[in-house]
Amino acid sequence: MSASRPLVTLAAGALVLALSACGLSDDGAAADTPGEQVLRIALADPEASLSVQDYTTSSFTVLDQVFEPLVRYTADGSFAPALAESFEVSPDGLTMTFALREGVTFTDGTPFDAEVARTDLLRWVEDPDNSFLGLTGVTESIEATDEATITWRLSQPYHSALNELALTRPVRFTSPEAAGEPVGTGPYRVESLDEQQIVLVRNDDWWGGTPSLDRVEFAVIPDAAARVAALQAGEVDVIGGEYTAPLALEEAAALEQADGIEVLTTESTTNLLLTVNADTGNPALADPAVRRVMDLAVDRPGIAEGLFEGRATAATTVFPANVPYGPDPEAATAADPAAAEELLEQAGWTGDGVRSKDGVPLELDLVLDPGLLPQATSLSQAVADQLGDVGFEVTITPLDSTAYGTTVSARDFDLRFYNTYGAPYDPYSTLTANFRSVQEGHLFASPELDAQIPAALAAPDEESRQAAFDATWTTLEEQTAAVPLVQLPRQWAIRDTVEGFELGATEYDLPLSDVTVSG
Amino acid sequence: MRGSWVAAAGRAAGRRAGEGVAVLLVVSLLTFGLLSVAAGDAATAIVLARDGVVSAEAVARVRAELGLDLPAPVRYLHALEGLFRGELGASARTGQDVAGEVAARLGPTVTLATTGAVVAVVGGLTAGAVAALTRRRVVRLPIQLGSLALLSVPAFALAQLGVLLFALQWRLLPTQGIAGWPSLVLPAAVIGLPLAAVLAQVTEARLRSTLREPFATTARARGLSPARVLLATALPNAAAPLLVVIGDVVGTALAATLVAETAFGWPGLGDYLVRALQFRDWYPLQAAVLIIAVGTVSVRGLAGSLAALVDARAGVRT
């Protein structure tokens, strides 16, 4: 009998320890006061801090509640006033004048005026880390002409200036007194932030009126399946969004059948591409015929239907047609393996099995980070099969995020997937950052694109601008700068107790000042 | 007589402690070695998180700031030396002291591992004993099938199944998160039940063979009830080997929190470890790995020592 006592003691001790430890975990769920309007949104990744002054915070939709820009991008590609009540670009395109909204204060009470705005603008405009933003290169001067006017002079016309001013990081305004704390002018301010949740509360002094919600709680749920379950169980009200809590396509289909849940789907402005490393990858990729063949061999409609459950649409151009000055849409056609093989024969790539030319085999390494795109693994297998059918051999290398970033930055790969940035960056920023040889991390570059892209951005009027962009689209297609795959939809899901919820103009924005929650 | 077995148990404990330290050193060295050969380092991860792309010069700058440009053995010994002084270092990802971060994450993990272990030990011993005591198929068959099923279902599937039934279908428990005892039930079950199944099978087999020993027959002949025979003679005799298995089970429960924390969104050590690994962040990784290893090694050591103690006492009595 006595010998079993240690066992019992051990078990009893463990039980006491477990039960006592339970008590400490209750503070995670703050009790909601009855009658309070609280919206709970899932967030995939915790944030250590919230800042628009650098690139460390990637929860854009959280930042959007707290920090505001001069102008906001709208769904039709035009701009709406935000902290600038009105704005004007001179006919020569060299002077931008912003009339600032008066009486705006940061949530710490600091007034937002022209001098504060000017200092905060210069913070990022003068920082070489932000060179991917064209404004850093063409800004001549930023002046506070009076208390409520900013006059911005440029050395040359720069068409996407307003797009850049509508971005989240690094351009939105932080209080000069913030000292590292997240203090902006937006409809909500930060109450608390930890690894489990970010709690925002209403900014009663917001210039845009009284926001409808008392609190917005972003609950960190890293696992995609757990997010769907949390929505179904009513633990959160909203999931989805590329930069918030991504909702997988196949899960959206199941959620549409679920009671009390509404799935919101809209067209995105981003295309998923298969990009080729023509500079330092397999020398075969420098042959335009090989790239053209890849374009012919990939079965886009099949991928859109089979892998993305018909929720994605086949992409035929590098940029989707719905970006400003976008390319004309083309009808997607199924793969043409016969034409692809014929083209390879003509270009001298011959042999049974894996084709080769001058001792260079068509062996390609496709690197991917499954964390970036849930369908990456199945998509890579489909692409490898389709290219395999016409004489390529594609090796798939899955990597974690750090290894992927390292490999991509070292340009030590042949193929990878890439999502274009989407509005409000596109087409300007994706073109500038990814298709010019001066950018170290470019996807593809050629002398033609090096000349055409700056020309398009500096074009003085609508007509010449459209013509310059059209020339760029033609080059991207003729040179097969990338193999377009599909245009993925923007997907969110909400509980039917949420009213007035509308998707932002971009995946980086989420307007919540008019949302209410019933029941 | 009494003094000698205490001394023997003491010597065994001392030997185990020595072995434990050796195991920890090997674990730490292996972890560092694997991290060193993985593509990318903390500097790359920082630049990636900050700029989206990495340039060689930006990485070199960060590397110099963090002292990552020193040779790997120097960095390892530096970290080890700090460890002996009781310093856990700072996280490259957050810039915070690892000691504070780990302290905040220890609570959820200890709660989860302990509860899981209690489920495993109590459930496993009870089911095993019940199955050993009876010949009735109505009792034994469900226990045997149940443990077989629990052993063959992967932890992730068990978690999903639990969420589907208890959170979505019957609305009894939350799907995830860490808020009060209801949120503890599913993760503890996911950790504890498969281990309980292992323990139940071992317990049943052990008790059955012990019940066939002559002294058990004698006890029954003296008129003791089957339950008393089990508790008074079979269990003490089977205790030593069972304690070793229990040590394994509790140690595994600690490691199993890794999966459960991911599936149920518990911000514990497992989640911390995974993030540290993805970021190639040595100090947090070292702390998390060592804490889990210390827990596992000491629980097993403790169980081993207890087994030695119980065994010796059983020996004295015969």
pLDDT value of position B228: 83
Does B40 contact A3 at a Cβ distance shorter than 8 Å? no
Q: Can you give the pLDDT at residue A185?
A: 97
Six-digit token string for A193: 């932030």
> Residue A204, exposed/middle/buried by CB under 10 A (0-12, 13-18, 19+)?
exposed
Task: State the pTM of this model.
Answer: 0.84
> What pLDDT, on the 0 to 100 scale, is given for residue A12?
47
CA distances from A196 to A46, A52, A73, A227, B266 (A): 7, 21, 31, 13, 8
Q: Which of B96, B167, B243 sits opposite A233 (nearest CB)?
A: B167
Burial class of residue B87 in the structure, from the number of CB atoms within 10 Å of its CB (0-12 exposed, 13-18 middle, 19+ buried): middle
Distance in angstroms (rounded) separating the CA atoms of residues A150 and A143: 6
CB count in 10 Å sphere of residue B21: 12
DSSP symbol at A284: G
B55 vs A440: CB contact, 8 Å cut-off?
yes
**CA terminus-to-terminus distance, chain A:** 58
A407: DSSP letter: H
- The whole-angstrom distance between B283's CA and the closest CA on chain A is 17
pLDDT tens sequence across B188-209: 999 999 999 999 999 999 898 8
Q: What confidence score (pLDDT) does residue A141 get?
A: 96
Q: How far is the CA of B227 from the CAs of A309, B132, B219, B223, in angstroms?
A: 60, 10, 11, 12
pLDDT, residue B275, reads 87
Banded pLDDT at A19 (limits 50, 70, 90): very low
Quick one: pLDDT at residue A136? 92
Q: For the residues B237-253, what does the mean pLDDT come to? A: 88
Q: Do B267 and A129 touch (CB under 8 A)?
A: no
Q: Which of A10, A17, A406 is nearest residue B44 as measured by Cβ atoms?
A: A406
**pLDDT(A338) > 90:** yes
> Is B176 close to A1, i.e. CB distance below 8 A?
no
Q: Which of A24, A222, A440 sits opposite B107 (nearest CB)?
A: A24
A409 contacts in chain B (CB < 8 Å): 44, 48, 53-55
For residue A274, what pLDDT band results from cuts at 50, 70 and 90? very high
- State the pairing for strand pair A149-154/A139-146: antiparallel
CB contact under 8 A, A402 and B278: yes
A190-197 long-range contacts, Cβ below 8 Å, gap at least 24? A190/A50, A190/A66, A191/A215, A193/A47, A193/A49, A193/A50, A194/A46, A195/A46, A195/A220, A195/B104, A195/B267, A196/A28, A196/A46, A196/A220, A196/B177, A196/B178, A196/B267, A197/A28, A197/A43
pLDDT at B262 over 60: yes
**CA distances, A94 to each of A134, A429, B199 (Å):** 14, 20, 78
Contact B107/A219, CB-based, under 8 Å? no
Q: What is the pLDDT of residues B141-200, one digit of tens each?
A: 888 899 999 989 888 889 989 999 999 999 899 998 888 889 999 999 999 999 999 999
Min distance A518 CA to chain B CA atoms (Å): 20
Average pLDDT over residues A125-141: 88
- State chain A's mean pLDDT as an integer: 89
Q: What is the pLDDT of residue B304?
A: 82
Handedness of CA B256, B258, B260, B263 (dihedral sign): negative
For the ranges A261-270, A279-288, B218-227, which has the lowest average pLDDT? B218-227
Q: Chains A, B: CB contacts under 8 A, how many?
A: 165
Spatial contact of A449 and A433, defined as CB atoms under 8 Å apart: no
CB contact under 8 A, A402 and B48: yes
Going by pLDDT thresholds of 50, 70 and 90, the confidence category of residue B224 is confident
Of B52, B236, B267, the CB nearest to A4: B236
Where does the pLDDT of residue A33 fall: very low under 50, low under 70, confident under 90, or very high at 90 and above?
A: low
Which among B44, B107, B239 is the nearest to A21, CB-wise? B107
Residue in B closest to A54 by C-alpha = B50
Q: Which two tokens stand for residue A482?
A: 């990338």
ipTM of the complex: 0.79
B118 pLDDT exceeds 70? yes
Give me the helices (H) in A401-440, please: 401-409, 428-434
Measured in angstroms, the CA of A16 and the nearest CA of chain B are apart by 10
Task: Kindly report, residue by residue over B4-62, the tens digit of the pLDDT.
Answer: 767 776 777 788 788 888 989 999 999 999 998 888 888 888 888 776 677 788 888 88
Set of chain B residues whose Cβ sits within 8 Å of the Cβ of A406 = 39-40, 44, 48, 54
pLDDT at B2: 55
The number of residues making up chain B comes to 318
The answer to whether the beta carbons of residues A135 and A145 sit under 8 Å apart is no
- The answer to whether residue A18 scores a pLDDT higher than 90 is no
**Is A376 within 8 Å of A369 (Cβ atoms)?**
yes
Check residues A200 and A421 and name the one with the higher pLDDT.
A200
Cα-Cα-Cα-Cα torsion A163, A165, A166, A167, nearest 10 degrees, comes to 90
pLDDT of residue A28: 40
Q: Which residue has the higher pLDDT, A362 or A459?
A: A362
Residues in chain B with CB shorter than 8 Å from the CB of A440 are 53, 55
Least CB–CB distance from A14: residue in B44, B118, B243? B118
| Cα A192 from Cα A181, distance rounded (Å) | 11
Q: Which whole-number Å values give the CA distances from A501 to A238, A504, A515, in the listed order?
A: 9, 9, 5
Write down how long chain A is: 519
Which chain B residue has the Cα nearest residue A131?
B51
Q: What are phi and psi for residue A154, nearest 5 degrees? A: -115, 155
What share of chain A has pLDDT > 70, as a percent? 94
Cβ of B236 and A1 within 8 Å? yes
Chain A's closest residue to B299, CA to CA, is: A10
Q: Which of A17, A22, A401 sits opposite B184 (nearest CB)?
A: A22
In chain B, count H helices and then E strands: 13, 0
Task: Name the residue of chain B whose CA is nearest to A233's CA.
Answer: B168
Nearest CB to A406; choose among B54, B167, B235:
B54
One-letter amino acid at A146 equals: D
Chain A interface disruption, residue of B41, B51, B168, most A CBs within 10 A: B51
Q: Give the pLDDT confidence score for residue A21 in this predicted structure.
A: 45
Distance from CA of A311 to the nearest CA of B (A): 25
Name, of A41-50, A158-167, A466-475, the range with top average pLDDT.
Answer: A466-475
Burial class (CB in 10 A: 0-12, 13-18, 19+), A63: buried
Task: From chain A, pick out residues whose CB is under 8 angstroms from the CB of B54.
Answer: 405-406, 409
CB contact under 8 A, A226 and B175: yes
Residue A27 pLDDT > 80: no
Task: Collect all residues of chain B within an 8 Å Cβ-Cβ radius of residue A408.
Answer: 53
**What pLDDT shows up at residue B3?**
63
How far is the alpha carbon of A127 from chain B, nearest alpha carbon, in Å?
Answer: 13
The label of the residue with tokens 């757990």 reads A226
Residues in A touching B235 (Cβ below 8 Å):
3-4
